[in-house]
Structure 1
Amino acid sequence: MAKEIWRPGNMLYPTPAVMVSCKREGEKPNIITVAWAGTICSDPAMLSISVRKARYSYDILMETGEFVVNLTSKKLTRAADWCGVRSGRDYDKFKEMNLTPLESQKISAPGIAESPVNIECKVKQSIDLGSHTIFIAEVMCVTVDDKLLDEKGKLDLGKAKLVAYSHGEYFMLGEKVGKFGYSVAKKTLTKKDSPKPNKGRSKTAKVKKK
């Protein structure tokens, strides 16, 4: 198998295509589409997003220190793309894309009601890395569409038809090829080695309807 050598570049694909909502007090809320987002810590739950300084949302994020990460479904793909190529300086993105601001539980910035999962975040640190600034944030609350829960309250994100971004294109997640820990035969697992996936929801957690 032959390989070509390329110059350094951002080739870590696919990535989540998320719609990040933010808001200054007294102003309309805005949406910025971000493909550079990721999980960085489980306890406390933390994630990061990377944003160029020239983006309209950059100053809002710096000033307010909060945002909502809204997962993108197949139905939201066009809105996610549009919000990524249009500026909040010129458009009311919620209005233009017929999206509904969702009141957050722990922060002032609203989520997107049409998104299957809304992750409320407070910025703990911002680091200027060059072309982008990374915002490291703690997850304050998660809101989940109850249509994604089975009769026992278990979350099935497969129902959400989530979208990923890969080298300039959007793809809907497809066939399941395994699950966490499936590569280890059950008979060889010990209590110490048994996988403990982070389910992100305590036994007493309840999903609030809006």
Structure 2
Amino acid sequence: MKKLIWPGSTQLAPVPAVLVGCGTEPDSYNLITVAWAGTVCSKPPMVSISIRPERYSYALIRESGEFTVNLTTAEQIRAVDYCGVVSGRDHDKFKETHLTPLRGSKVAAPLVVESPLGLECRVVQTLELGSHTLFLAEIVAVQVSEEFVNASGRLELEKAGLAAYIHGHYHRVGGAIGHFGYSVRKKPGPVVRR
């Protein structure tokens, strides 16, 4: 395959389209859409998000040291887009998108009731990187919708219709094509088809 060489840029994709909840009191609750989010460590469980300092949510997270990361679904994508293009300085995003805030169990920042899974996070380090500030946080609790946990306790997020972001466009996450470690199994497992 012939390759083109481009200057260094943010081409990593797909990335999650998540709603980050911030603020510590119901009258200050806000949501911001973030695509630059990801898991960075398993012990302790940690996640990072990157936000521009001029965004309203930036100050809320800096002040409280807490936020939530809420996975989103394809059905919620209009609300997800809206929360990324209007400012919480001027809009009550929960009210305007008809999403329901839920105070965290370990943090004061709000989760989104309609999200299939939400991470409650406490900031452990902040890195000023240039256009964005990275908030590195420990995941102190996870809230998951019961409907995505099967009878044996396995989380089945593949049933949620999760949303992803690819270079300016939202996409529904597709079907499974394998599982971790299947390439080295001694006995071949079942073929996964879409």
Shorter-chain TM-score bucket reads: over 0.9
Whichever residue aligns with residue 118 of structure 2, its letter is: N
Query: What are the ranges of 5 or more consecutive residues in structure 1 without an aligned counterpart?
Result: 188-210
Give the whole-Å Cα distance in 1 for the aligned partners of 2:151 and 2:92: 38
Aligned residue in 1 for 2:42: 42
Aligned residue in 2 for 1:129: 129
Aligned residue in 1 for 2:29: 29
Match status 1:138 vs 2:111: no
Whichever residue aligns with residue 170 of structure 1, its letter is: Y
Give the whole-Å Cα distance in 2 for the aligned partners of 1:27 and 1:186: 56
Q: 2:175 is paired with a residue of what secondary structure?
A: coil
The aligned runs of 1:85-96 (5 Å cut-off) are 85-96=85-96
CA deviation map 1:69-125 (0-9, x unaligned): 000111111111110001001100000000101121001111000000010000001
Aligned 8 A contact 2:128 2:134 in 1: yes
CA deviation map 1:114-157 (0-9, x unaligned): 00001000000101001000000000100000000111111111
Per the normalisation by structure 2, the TM-score is 0.93
Give the whole-Å Cα distance in 2 for the aligned partners of 1:16 and 1:28: 25
CA deviation map 1:169-194 (0-9, x unaligned): 1111112110010110236xxxxxxx
Give the superposed CA RMSD. 1.3
Aligned 8 A contact 2:24 2:110 in 1: no
Aligned residue in 2 for 1:97: 97
- Shift, 1:28, TM fit: 2.6
With 72-81 and 26-35 compared, the bigger mean Cα shift is at 26-35
Match status 1:179 vs 2:193: no
Whichever residue aligns with residue 146 of structure 2, its letter is: D
Aligned residue in 2 for 1:158: 158
Tell me the number of residue pairs that the alignment of Structure 1 and Structure 2 aligns.
188
Give the whole-Å Cα distance in 1 for the aligned partners of 2:94 and 2:26: 16
Match status 1:77 vs 2:81: no
- Shift, 1:26, TM fit: 6.7
- Shift, 1:24, TM fit: 3.9
Q: After the TM superposition, which segments of 4 or more aligned residues of structure 1 sit over 2 Å from their partners?
A: 24-28
